[in-house]
Amino acid sequence: MRKLIMIIGISLCLVSCSGKIESMNTPLDFVETVQSTDLSSETGELESLNASEQTIIEQRGEPLQRGRTDREEVVLEYLDFQYILADDRVVSYSVKPGQMTAKQVKIGDDEERVIDAYGNDFYTREQDALSIKGYVDKGNQKVIEFLLEQNIVKMIFVSELSLFK
């Protein structure tokens, strides 16, 4: 269990930190080239994406684990979601195996399921051996990214676009 938590945490950090590496594309590179997709229902079972740690605990109970990333962001681990907080508010979360996005996509689904649920207004970028399919909500300044390996969803992240600046 600890290995899974660490893998997800490290992967989320890599994705969120990728904006600091000049040779890698980030969601910000695609904002102007894709149409906006409504992601307002993607809240990770929170009342709002930018909830504080105290609000998360009030809504979800005590986390299974609390930690920090290399960038001093707080990580709250639950059975279904992992939340990343910066300046005491959620800036990103990942969907854990067995859970679904608001549009019913889960880890293990194929790429076609993602497109059926979210549409054709996506971007694709590569990171290591993974293909990343992303959708941008320009109005809410959010992005959802599906990390795919051999066209199968391996990880799902929802983040504020500001995380990539």
pLDDT at 149: 94
* HSE of 85, CA atoms in CB hemisphere, 13 A: 20
Q: How far apart are CA 121 and CA 68, in angstroms?
A: 34
100 versus 18: which is more confidently predicted? 100
Q: Decide if pLDDT at 17 tops 50.
A: no
Task: Using alpha carbons, list the distances in angstroms from residue 160 to 28, 103, 109.
Answer: 11, 18, 24
Q: What's the predicted TM-score (pTM) here? A: 0.85
Please check whether residue 105 is in contact with residue 118, taking contact to mean a CB–CB distance below 8 angstroms.
yes
Q: pLDDT (tens digit, 9 = 90+) per residue, 100-135?
A: 999 999 999 999 999 999 999 999 999 887 899 999
Residue spans of the domains in the chain: they are 2-164
* Neighbouring-strand partners of residue 106: 100
Strands (E), the chain: 65-68, 74-77, 81-86, 89-95, 123-127, 130-137, 142-149, 152-160
Q: pLDDT (tens digit, 9 = 90+) per residue, 79-95?
A: 999 999 999 999 999 99
Task: Using alpha carbons, list the distances in angstroms from residue 82 to 35, 50, 64.
Answer: 28, 14, 10
Burial class (CB in 10 A: 0-12, 13-18, 19+), 59: exposed
Long-range contacts of 56-65 (CB under 8 A, 24+ apart): 56/83, 56/90, 65/5
**SS3 state at 88:** coil
